[in-house]
Amino acid sequence: MTKMPGKFTRIAIANRGEVAVRIIKACEELGIETVLLHSEADIHSRAFRMATKTICIGPAPTAESYLNIEANINGALAGGAQAIHPGFGFLSENADFAEAVTKAGLTFIGPSAEAIRSLGDKVHCKELAKKAGLPLVPGYQGENQQVANLITEAERIGYPVIVKAAAGGGGRGMKLIKSSAEAAELIESAQREAQSAFGSPKVFLEKYLDRAKHIEFQIFGDSIGNVAHFFDRECSVQRRHQKIIEEATSPSLTDDLRRRMGEAACAIATLGKYKGAGTVEFLLQDGEFYLLEVNTRLQVEHPVTEEVLGVDLVKMQIMTAQGEYIHDPKMIRIPRGHSIECRIYAENPFLGGVPSTGLLGHVEWPEGPGRRYEYGFDSGDTITPYYDPMIAKVIVWDENRPRAIQKMIRVLKDSVVFGVHTNIPYLIEILSHKEFVMGTMTTRFIETYFADPIKEPELNEVEKKLAAAALAQARGAQTSGTQASTSPWASYWRGI
């Protein structure tokens, strides 16, 4: 029998930004100290200021810091931690990392290396799903990775076909092939991107479902091997295969469909001997669902599940790693109300979403009932070009979906992010679109209605002068070592 590690007094965090902040908060509630393993570029961040202890593990490039297994483990040991929480992204789905953490005498807060290899590899996961009797999208998951063979298989499946990285996620190494004329170029491109992002060029093919909804189930394996699901989320609003808006629960499921999909999610997780938080993703079209993939980690969108169920998944992860969390079927709750999450990116929505880096002169998130913010930067911090441009998540809860949509629009309009462009105007237009309001959007929603940059509002001369003065004030405040939180323009330049 595996020996349980006992209660942790200090946990190392192998992540950054709002992810690290989220884990630090959960540790604080459990009375656990934290060690932030950070790069040289992140010394001016909220997580850096909040952690009990900080250890620099390398320069800004991720390969030299956040993706460096040895540097992360050495940092955790030097910081006196008993466990490492990988957050999501970076090394969170890396079986070699989970294995190395254990060999170093530390506890990996997440599923076992065996489970990550079994379910995290998209091809192996589909083989496991066949054994569990789960429906799969028609495709090719074979070992022959020659481009000519993959083109032959794509022809057999029938265009459009989507090519994906076997070890991938987050839209990396994923290409949509619409015809034979572009097949070779896109397959080779996907293989190169997969090699660069995940260390393996292996890809697989799937028939592209052009009217599908993206539905996922939160699963959780407890300390003794029980697996339960914590209901569903809908993430159909995606841009370049990356989610932008998520909600719980899905407006698209009947009670019967929800029951059957939840049972399927638990079936494959049980086969994979899953422990901790994970997500089983499905595509839903014409009333039929198909397994998409299993993410062996916490998801960016986990807060909407927490809001409708009143649970804390990060605390549950830590307690499970300590051997303390056991499912009690009587305690699994029924979703209450509706929750929506929007990802706030530092990007210019008027130029098609190009990244917008620089000084955050002033940031203000409006407080109120049913509002939650997860962010990694405060006023005076700098958005660098080295990492993902997501700077915050805004989450709302209300009694039903129409009220949650209206609350989210109000919150976004009242939010202040000054100094860099954000996608807030873009999000407001999406939330206001009739198809989103009706809940009938599919994964082609953005492609169909928001393919072009949104129109930039005209500023008059007075507004331009006010903006320039506010930015100059913010820069001056940072130079003198103070925060720019008293900007008189904060209430005026909303959601810029």
Residues with a known catalytic role: 297
Counting other chains too, the contacts that 363-369 makes at CB distance below 8 Å and 24 or more residues apart are 363/416, 363/417, 363/418, 364/415, 364/416, 364/485, 364/490, 365/392, 365/394, 365/415, 365/416, 366/411, 366/414, 366/415, 368/411
Alpha-carbon distance values, 409 to 87, 420, 423, 425 (Å): 28, 20, 13, 10
**3-state helix, strand and coil shares in percent for the chain, rounded to the nearest 5:** 35, 25, 40
Reading the block at residue 259, the tokens are 């029951």
Residue 473: closest CA among 491, 459, 492, 486: 486
Alpha-carbon distance values, 155 to 159, 185, 212, 485 (Å): 7, 15, 21, 58
The answer to whether the CB of 11 falls within 8 A of the CB of 31 is no
For β-strands 83-85 and 107-108, DSSP reports them as: parallel
In sequence order, what E strands does 198-285 have? 203-207, 213-221, 227-239, 242-248, 276-285
CA distance 173 to 175: 7
Residue-by-residue DSSP string for 350-403: GGTSEE--EE--EEE----TTEEEEES--TT-EE-SSS--EEEEEEEEESSHHH
CA distance 456 to 413: 15
Alpha-carbon distance values, 145 to 148, 149, 153, 205 (Å): 8, 7, 11, 11
Cβ contacts of 460 within 8 Å, gap of 6 or more: none
The answer to whether the CB of 401 falls within 8 A of the CB of 247 is yes
